[in-house]
Amino acid sequence: MDWLLILVLFGVAFYQRSHLRALQQRLEGLEGSLDHVRALLREGAAATAPEREAVPDASKPVDEAVRAAPEPAAAQEVSVPKSVKLVGGPKDVPAAAIDDTPVPTEAPVGPTDTVKPGLMERFSFDFEEIFGRNLFVWMGGVTLAVTGVLLVRYSIEAGLLTSSVRVALSFLFGIALLGGAEAAYRNAEKVRDERVCQALAGAGLATLYAGFYLAGTQYGLIGQTFAFLGLAIVTAVAVALSYRFGLPSAILGLVGGFAAPALVGSEEANLPLLALYLALVTGGLTQTGNRQRRPWLGMAALIGGLGWGGLLITGTGFSTTDVVALGLFFVLLGAILPSFLATEKFEQPLRLAAAAIASLQLAVLVDEGGYSPLAWGLYLLLGATLAFFGWQKPSMRPANAVAAAIGILLLGFWRDPATGSLIAVLIALTVMFAGVPLFHAIKGKDQLVDRIMLATVTTGLGLTTALTLDSSSNPLAGMACLALAALPVAGGKVLWSRADSISLALNVASAGLLAGLAANKLLPEWTLPVALGTIGAAIAWILRNRLAEHRAFLATASAFALAAILSLPATTGGLMELDALSETARDPHWPGLLRWLGASLPLVALTYFLRERLPRTIAEFAAALVLFKAALQVLPPIPSVWLAATAALLIRWKQPHREGAILGLLLATIAWAADPLARWLESGGGALLGDPFLLTDLPSVRQTLGFILPFAIVLGTARIAESRLIEQRVPLYWAALLPAFITAHVLFKQVFAVETLLAFERTGLAERILLETLLLGAAWLAAKGIAGLRANSLIASVLAGTALAHFALFTGFWHNPLFARQAVGPVPVANLALAMTVVAIAILLSLRVWLPRFRSTIDAAIMVVATVGAIALLRQVFAGTYLVQTPMSQSEDLLRSFLGILLGIAFLMIGSRRAERSWRIGSLVLMTGTVIKVFGFDAAGLEGLLQVASFLALGTSLIGIGWFYKRQLRAAPQD
């Protein structure tokens, strides 16, 4: 009760706030007009003297006061329009005296000026206007209305009066209040405040509402017919009094009308009579607001009615009469009254909200009513009413869309419906919420909401029907979806020539989706990808000339292509078809071939019809993957991969612009090549760390030739097209070198077939020498050019560099026969140590030709390799096949020093002959190292004559080398 009074007072204060603001503006206008008149009178121009004399006598005091006032120190020029009406000032000021001429006004009040008394007076007047003359009057009226209701309640609780007396007293009290209002209205000159009659009238109306409600519902003193007549009379009186007494009477009638049922507090309400009562109150106040051009009154009434509707449906056990009454009440609130509501600012959102709330309330009623034909009929009545008013007022059509959405949801919550009832409701919903928009489209009177409803409503009804009849194969649901698909098809035909591409795409998508639902219900489950693929291809063909017109058309066709692909694993056999990464033999699966081919149809169609490169490339990419998967259903993996490689070569030859298809085939082949490639890379990583690269660690020849080689072929044909990030096409044949090399390496490893560590010790060095020789030979072929190919020193350098890196890492570091158990052969000099040295020097000499910028570095590497090779040959003479098998003797150590001196002399002669300083420096480095070795290590262990002889030989050699080196320097040109 307290909250109700607070809300009422707040509403009244809000209403009075606008009036006070208007009054304040009027007073400011009056003050401005007086200021202008004073300025004109102060001018005292001779031309305006006659006009000034024509001013009535009432203006003389003002004129004298103005003349006596001192002249302002500063002035501002203002313009006075001729159309200004001076209210409260001189009544007969001629138009000539008030023109557009700028006139000075008084200067603003300075810091030392005193505040005008008028400011405080106006502030005091505003405060009194709000609390003294307005709010207290309205609070009194509301208090009188509440007093009547409280008196009735008190009499009920105390048992003082019989029910008949209580009702009679409420009627008498209400009539007395209305009489008092009329008396105050007729004696307005005595009362001098129109708010008194307005407050009394509002209180009397509220009391009469409560009285008729008590008589008809609480006590049953009068029948429902008399109660209806009484409430109708009170509503009519409220409307009439609002015209006589003004807006406050309608406001208090609104508050009292909606508050009466709650304040009386009936335990067992008569729902039909209460619904009728609320309908009359809401409708009467809505019409009153429209007639008086106060739309907010109708809005408030509509909100109050919807609020009461929410309270009414909280009950249970509704009878047939209750269902009918509440249903009609919701139809009134959701469709009829909003259509008559006249407000420009909030009309559309309020209609949408009213339709949504009323539809939800009616949906709850349908659910409480057990989805009976009567309850459904009332909801359909709401839809029909909205459709009718939408026909008359196009602005009402969005409300119809809201009701359609709630109706579809309500249909989805219907559990175990009778088939006949479901079909009947489905037809009715389709006609009202999709058939009517289609009719508008055919007549050319449609709006965007009609075009969207035509697509979305049919789709929603189809999905709901398919889910409700959820058996895997239901001909009835399939036929219903096919019938529903006819509407968006017709809509698409109508919209084909329109400029609304999005609506056309929505209707095409709706027709396709409904056709897919029908196929799912009418055909075996495994055929769904074929059906969706066929539908998607048909859509792509229909929209073939418009795919570039709008993104919506491309999105529609792409959506069905995606749906066809996603349906593959979701249907029977899908998971088995996806499990195709196994090399185990299996029988051909012809239904799988049909399913994957069907799913590829829309992608193939898009690759043919699309002209824009990016979406076409994506379609080609996906189509290649799906077609490859289709081949796997009937072909073994290796033939499928080779088929993909062949297709890539043909596409590169015949259709070189289709990079997307080749990239798709590349992804398909790498899926099979990934496992053997990973196995080789894992073993190769171990080899880089010193583990022997055995044959058992490699992929088999079948995997290599069946998966890695075709992958290399496809990778060699692929290119990345230019885009925003890439300015030109990027070929990928450089990346194909790695799988090509892996293929060649696996085939090469079959020659020696090194499967054990013992075999690796016997033949590992020979295998590496042969591999490096083959790489060097390939480098020379690339450098010279063969089979019509142009010579390419860069490729030659890469191949030779690979051979050199292989020698340096494996033969020179991890598996060097000088400190690893690697067989070089039993024959001195003519063994693998010489072969590995010759091959390494040959590689370096080749690089010296192809990379002349690095000749000095390469010369140093040649000298290092020659020195190590000579030491290995010397070691083989003393140790045999395995150089690490026998410890080094003193004689061998001395021969190493002698060998170093000989090699130093040889390097010096080469440098002198070729006039290359790098060889001479290398000679000096080698001989210096040899001298340090002899003096520091070799001679330290000798004694007697052997020591003397060794020093004599060393000294003589050094003198000879020095003489020879000096002579060579004189003969050599200065670098």
Predicted confidence (pLDDT) at residue 211 exceeds the cutoff of 50:
yes
pLDDT-derived band at 728 (thresholds 50, 70, 90) equals low
* Region for 498 from its dihedrals, namely left if φ exceeds 0, alpha if ψ lies in -120 to 50, beta otherwise: beta
Give ∠ CA 744-745-751 in degrees, rounded to 5.
Answer: 100
Q: Which residues contact 797 (CB under 8 A, 6 or more apart)?
A: 779, 847, 850, 851
Chain mean pLDDT for the chain: 78
Between residues 811 and 10, which one has the greater pLDDT? 811
Give the count of alpha carbons within 13 A of 775, CB side only.
27
pLDDT-derived band at 662 (thresholds 50, 70, 90) equals very high
Between residues 270 and 537, which one has the greater pLDDT? 537
Instruction: Provide the token pair at 503.
Output: 């609506």
pLDDT-derived band at 122 (thresholds 50, 70, 90) equals very low
Q: Do residues 659 and 718 make contact, with C-beta atoms less than 8 angstroms apart? A: yes
Q: Which of 441-445, 673-677, 721-725, 868-872 has the lowest mean pLDDT?
A: 721-725
Between residues 102 and 580, which one has the greater pLDDT? 580
Q: Which residues contact 378 (CB under 8 A, 6 or more apart)?
A: 323, 324, 327, 328, 330, 331, 362, 365, 366
Between residues 577 and 117, which one has the greater pLDDT? 577
Q: Which of 200-204, 532-536, 847-851 has the lowest mean pLDDT?
A: 200-204
Overall average pLDDT of the 473-498 stretch: 90
The candidate with the shortest Cα–Cα distance to 820, out of 753, 756, 865, 765, is 765
77's enclosing H/E stretch is strand 76-78
Please report the pLDDT score of residue 87 as a whole number.
Answer: 37
pLDDT-derived band at 891 (thresholds 50, 70, 90) equals confident
Overall average pLDDT of the 200-220 stretch: 72
pLDDT cut 70: percent of the chain above it: 70
Counting Cβ atoms within 10 Å, is residue 808 exposed (0-12), middle (13-18) or buried (19+)? middle
Overall average pLDDT of the 406-410 stretch: 91
Alpha-helical segments (H) within 369-444:
373-392, 397-412, 419-430, 436-443
Predicted confidence (pLDDT) at residue 427 exceeds the cutoff of 60:
yes
Please report the pLDDT score of residue 285 as a whole number.
Answer: 74
Q: Which amino acid is at 839?
A: V
CA 31 to CA 22: how far, in whole Å? Answer: 14
Q: Which of 27-41, 292-306, 739-753, 891-905 has the lowest mean pLDDT?
A: 27-41
User: Per residue in 585-603, pLDDT tens?
Assistant: 567 888 889 999 999 999 9
**Is the Cα dihedral 23, 28, 32, 37 positive or negative?**
positive
Please report the pLDDT score of residue 194 as a whole number.
Answer: 67
> Token pair 């996806």 is at which residue?
578
CB atoms within 10 A of CB 427: 14
Predicted confidence (pLDDT) at residue 883 exceeds the cutoff of 90:
yes
pTM of the model: 0.66
Which range of 128-137, 200-209, 807-816, 943-952 scores highest in mean pLDDT? It is 807-816
Q: Do residues 461 and 411 make contact, with C-beta atoms less than 8 angstroms apart? A: yes
Instruction: Provide the token pair at 804.
Output: 């050199």
**How would you classify the pairing of strands 719-720 and 103-105?**
unpaired
Predicted confidence (pLDDT) at residue 13 exceeds the cutoff of 50:
no
Please report the pLDDT score of residue 248 as a whole number.
Answer: 60
The candidate with the shortest Cα–Cα distance to 326, out of 284, 370, 274, 377, is 274
Predicted confidence (pLDDT) at residue 852 exceeds the cutoff of 50:
yes
Overall average pLDDT of the 761-765 stretch: 95
Please report the pLDDT score of residue 869 as a whole number.
Answer: 95
Please report the pLDDT score of residue 613 as a whole number.
Answer: 86
pLDDT-derived band at 939 (thresholds 50, 70, 90) equals low
Overall average pLDDT of the 314-334 stretch: 81
Please report the pLDDT score of residue 970 as a whole number.
Answer: 60
Overall average pLDDT of the 642-669 stretch: 92
Alpha-helical segments (H) within 413-548:
419-430, 436-443, 448-468, 475-495, 501-522, 528-542
Q: Which of 338-342, 378-382, 743-747 has the lowest mean pLDDT?
A: 338-342
Residues β-bridged to residue 644: none
Please report the pLDDT score of residue 587 as a whole number.
Answer: 75
Predicted confidence (pLDDT) at residue 53 exceeds the cutoff of 50:
no
* Region for 371 from its dihedrals, namely left if φ exceeds 0, alpha if ψ lies in -120 to 50, beta otherwise: left
Predicted confidence (pLDDT) at residue 842 exceeds the cutoff of 90:
yes
Overall average pLDDT of the 678-703 stretch: 93
Instruction: Provide the token pair at 71.
Output: 């002249």
Phi (first) and psi of residue 730, to 5 degrees: -115, 110
Give the DSSP letter of residue 228.
H
Please report the pLDDT score of residue 116 as a whole number.
Answer: 42
Between residues 967 and 514, which one has the greater pLDDT? 514
